[in-house]
Amino acid sequence: MELHTEKDYSRVIKKPFYHIIFWLILWVVFSVRELAWHNNLMHNLSFQTLNFVFYISLSYLNLYVYIPKFWNKSRYFLFTVILLISIVVVSYLNSQLLSFMFSSLGISEPAAMFGGLQGFMVILTEILLIIMFTMSTNLLIQQVIKDKYARELEKKHLETELKLLKSQINPHFLFNSLNSIYVHIPRTAEVARETLVKLSELLSHQIYDVGKSKISLEKEIEHIKNYCAIEQVRHGEQVDYSMEIGEESLLKSIEVAPMLFLPFVENAFKHGKNSGKLDFYVKIQFCVENQVLKFSCKNSYESEGYVPEKGGLGLSNIKRRLELSYPKRHALAIKDENGKFEVKLNLNLDEN
């Protein structure tokens, strides 16, 4: 990031146009200000031109020599001493030269002022203000560029983490699906073929859809139905499965992050079967209310002597994916009591 920051900083700071505009504005402002005590604008412009030769020279000496050589290397005391000595010397030379120019024009009052302490302090104050202003502007540009790259780096980091989490889900899901097919191959080839077709559709979803940031909710629900069909073949009448969907016309217009809901459904079938319960149910619901997508997944299991896994690979990953894909726009509640496991997930679809 440091290399990119330096390159962007160089591109901005080395454009002559910005420097010319910056100094031109200051030159005009200072010249007009002098009209308060000397009403000859042409004199003021010429005198300020002289002043700005000193101001600009010292400013760039500070930005390109003192700051890189001392400040950036944490030699703050030496930087302060050298800068202050330079300011005093330049202020003295500038004030004396102004005094000489006013004297040559026969303008005695300003000539006397710039030849003494008062004129020296006026120039010293102006130089201090300009040095502080140019340093602040320089630091502000650097900070803005650094913040920009910090945001980009964070975004890339989150995208990389999200891809990693998705890739971790895939083998877990594939293992469960293949296991379902394996169980039924000895029973009937027809069932195995139908199951393989559904698995093929699911794998297509894995390959082509999981890499996307969003897919249609309709498509996501269709993949969940395929998965549940595979599990129904595996468990037969042992599982009482149902899915309720709200107004289906809304599904086509809603997009969600892929593979958000399937891990909860996988866990529902896994816990119901592994608990040893002869019959168990899995009930899934989708509905949309006021730009909030509401999902729930319930399952029963044998609570006697069985301890379901808490936040396995699927659940831990999905929680992190929710944090990345729906920051501050999701609510996840998991309830586990009396042989009933329930997940409720609300997603705020309004991204504003």
Q: Within 10 A of 55 (CB to CB), how many other CB atoms are there?
A: 24
Tell me the torsion sign for CA atoms 319, 321, 323, 326: negative
> Which residue bears the tokens 């999905």?
318
- For the stretch 285-325, pLDDT in tens is 999 988 899 999 999 988 776 665 554 456 777 888 888 78
DSSP of 306-349, one letter per residue? ----SS-HHHHHHHHHHHHHSTTSEEEEEEEETTEEEEEEEEE-
Helical H runs in 185-301?
189-208, 217-235, 262-274
Greatest pairwise CA separation for the chain in angstroms? 115
The pLDDT score that the predictor gives to residue 323 is: 83
Give the separation between CA 98 and CA 110, rounded to whole angstroms. Answer: 8
Domains of the chain: 2-151 (no CATH), 185-348 (3.30.565.10)
Q: Could you read off the pLDDT of 221-238 as tens digits, one per residue?
A: 988 888 888 788 777 788
Of the candidates 250, 246, 251, which has an alpha carbon nearest to the alpha carbon of residue 296? 246
Strands 292-300 vs 340-348: parallel, antiparallel or unpaired = antiparallel
Integer Cα distance of 235 and 66 in angstroms: 77
> Two tokens at 325?
């894909």
Cα distances (Å, whole numbers) of residue 124 to 30, 67, 90, 109, 119? 14, 20, 8, 19, 8
Q: What are residue 255's DSSP bridge partners? A: 216
- List the one residue out of 301, 296, 299 whose CA is nearest residue 244: 296
Mean pLDDT, residues 144-169: 63
Q: At what angle do helices 117-184 and 76-104 cross, to 10 degrees?
A: 140
Average pLDDT over residues 154-162: 61
Q: Is 195 exposed, middle or buried (0-12, 13-18, 19+ CB in 10 A)?
A: buried
Helix (H) or strand (E) holding 241: strand 239-245
Three-class secondary structure of residue 293 per DSSP: strand
Dist. CA 162–CA 204, nearest whole Å: 20
- Of the pLDDT bands very low, low, confident and very high (cuts 50, 70, 90), residue 242 is very high
pLDDT in tens, 79-123: 889 989 999 998 888 888 878 877 887 777 777 877 888 888 888
pLDDT value at residue 180? 60
Per-residue b/e over 80-92, b at no fewer than 16 CB within 10 Å?
Answer: eebbeebbeebbe
| Nearest residue to 26 via CA among 107, 101, 137 | 137
